[in-house]
Amino acid sequence: MAPSKIKNFFLRKKAEAKLKLGVAGPGRKLNSDAPPPPSSKASSSKQKDAYVPPKRNELSAEAKAAANAALARFEGKDKKEFNTSLAAIRAQVRKELEAEKKAKEGGGPTGAEQEGSAEDGTAQEARKDYAVQGVFFRCPMIGDEILPYKEWKGRIKEFLYEQLAADRGLTACLIIYNCNPKDKAEVCIETLSKCIENIINNPTEEKYKKIRMTNRMFCDKIKVCEGSLDFLHAAGFAEIELDGEPHLIWSEDNIDPECSLEVLLEALKAAEPIPVELDRNLQVLLPSQVKRSNLPPDFFRISPEEIKREQQLRTEALEQAQILKTKAMREKEELRTINRYKFSLIRVRFPNGVYLQGTFNVYEKFGQVCEFVQSCLMHESADFALVSPGGLKYDDPDDLDRSLYDLRLVPTVVFNFCYENESKTLTDFLKEELMLLIQSF
């Protein structure tokens, strides 16, 4: 009963709620054909469990949404005039590839292939040459905007508190779970559940109907969590002063008329986090626009200060002990490095020199990368392969179910794209809608 009530709660409130959009600007529907607003940060790409080549050639909803969102990223920004005709774009790509080739022959840096870990960039936080400006998310249950994670947490909290007056009990359950640290929320839910169960199982016992608000257990496990007092009030508790101390006294007359203790208890135990989905932040880049992979702080599990300190300690240790590393030592150091990251920046270089770029969680499967690339291809049904800079082709079916973390594709990697059996006949790669996303930065 309670899970269905929570589901209906979201369906009703999403339709009724008028969110205060603030600096984020108006929202948009990810699958809408209308041009998106200039505040959109990134694009969308539907995640799937595995890569299954579809039998279609039409524009997919994922690619259409990605194109609309990515176009919106560049609106309203100061930028030079850029000829977005496909002929001009192809001419620009050829020009840059020729310049890159000359740079290689002359022994100079190519720029486009300068891929490195984020370690090199964290020492200069003030630099503006991040490969991406951040990590962005979507929350379809609340709204259609694309925002950083912290902004979404604030938006979710704002949304829930707006609903307290109309649905106090169910909303309080969601506030407890979504607006507090997970460990505190779980302890609070366990304690509140015990309080309500005691009243349900012992309806004549008066001792279970009174809570002293100065009690240490109450202060440490319940009062510290947002939403806990609202839940108790909805469950029939009212604040009263007894013997000079504040107490919560339960009465059946005080229960929210639309709920019962059984429904509130079930809702409390069934409450879950409101899901926030990673946005791909799709970009299509010319060779000259592919920056060194200095990643922003959002990609890291630890703070920039901790990264600096760890680098200093490692440098000092290497200076003190100039020894050859065993395979086990190298693997341990590699794991220590990739464990710093929550996200991975994936780039795919096509034979025509254009790059496709997207953001992934390190625990997403490689098959989801293939699905993302496929949704952007002009020939979606064609077989293709992604090849690492070292020449390793990821075409083993088992690789599709392995995570980017397991494959060590963290924190950034550049794949070379190739068609498996149709390279001689297929010369176009990305959809024209996506090619038109190329802009002058």
pLDDT (0 to 100) of residue 121: 40
The pLDDT tens digits of the residues spanning 262-273 come to 999 999 999 888
Q: Is the pLDDT of residue 334 over 90?
A: no
Q: Residue 7 — very low, low, confident or very high, per pLDDT cuts 50/70/90?
A: low
Highest mean pLDDT among 8-22, 70-84, 199-213: 199-213
The pTM for the full model equals: 0.67
> Average pLDDT in the 423-432 region?
75
Residue 414 has pLDDT above 90, yes or no: yes
Question: Regarding predicted confidence, which is higher, 365 or 98?
Answer: 365
pLDDT of residue 106: 61
Residue with tokens 């969102």: 69
Question: Is pLDDT larger for residue 120 or for residue 201?
Answer: 201
How many Cβ atoms sit within 10 Å of the Cβ of residue 52? 12
What are the tens digits of pLDDT across the range 303-313? 666 666 666 66
Contact call for residues 300 and 311 (beta carbons, < 8 A): no
Which of 3.10.180.10, 3.10.20.90, 1.10.10.10, 3.40.50.1000 would CATH assign to domain 338-437? 3.10.20.90
Rounded Cα–Cα distance for residues 392 and 415 (Å):
10
Window from 58-62, 182-186, 301-305 with minimum mean pLDDT: 58-62
Mean pLDDT of 341-364: 94
Q: Give the model confidence (pLDDT) of 123-142 as tens digits.
A: 444 446 688 889 999 999 99
- What is the band of 366 on the pLDDT scale with cuts at 50, 70, 90? very high
Q: What CATH number labels 136-277?
A: 1.20.58.2190
pLDDT value at 53 more than 90:
no
Residue 120 confidence (pLDDT) above 50: no
Round to whole Å and give the CA distance between 5 and 270: 11
- What is the mean pLDDT of the segment spanning 3-29? 50
Locus of tokens 């990673």? 278
C-alpha span between 140 and 47 (Å, rounded) = 14
State the average pLDDT over residues 8-23: 52
pLDDT of residue 326: 66
The percent helix, strand, coil of the chain (3-state, each to 5) is: 45, 15, 45
The string of pLDDT tens digits covering residues 379-409 is: 888 889 999 988 899 888 899 999 999 999 9
CB-count burial class (<10 Å; 0-12, 13-18, 19+) for 179: middle
Query: Does residue 164 surpass a pLDDT of 70?
Result: yes
Q: Based on the number of CB atoms within 10 Å of its own CB, is 288 exposed (0-12), middle (13-18) or buried (19 or more)? A: middle
* Residue 359, pLDDT above cutoff 90: yes
Residue-level pLDDT at 395:
80
Share of the chain above pLDDT 90, in %: 42
Confidence at residue 156, expressed as pLDDT on a 0 to 100 scale: 95
pLDDT for the residue 81:
45
Q: d(Cα 353, Cα 97) in Å, to the nearest integer?
A: 7
Mean pLDDT of the residues in the chain: 77
Segment 113-119 mean pLDDT: 42
What confidence score (pLDDT) does residue 346 get? Answer: 95
* Candidate from 14-18, 76-80, 153-157, 204-208 with smallest mean pLDDT: 76-80
Query: Does 42 have pLDDT greater than 90?
Result: no
**Contact predicate 177/160, CB 8 Å:** no
In three-state secondary structure terms, 66 is: helix
- The pLDDT assigned to 375 comes to 94
Any idea which of 43-47, 369-373, 392-396 has the lowest mean pLDDT? 43-47
* Highest-confidence segment of 61-65, 132-136, 337-341: 132-136
Q: Which of 218-222, 281-285, 434-438 has the lowest mean pLDDT?
A: 434-438
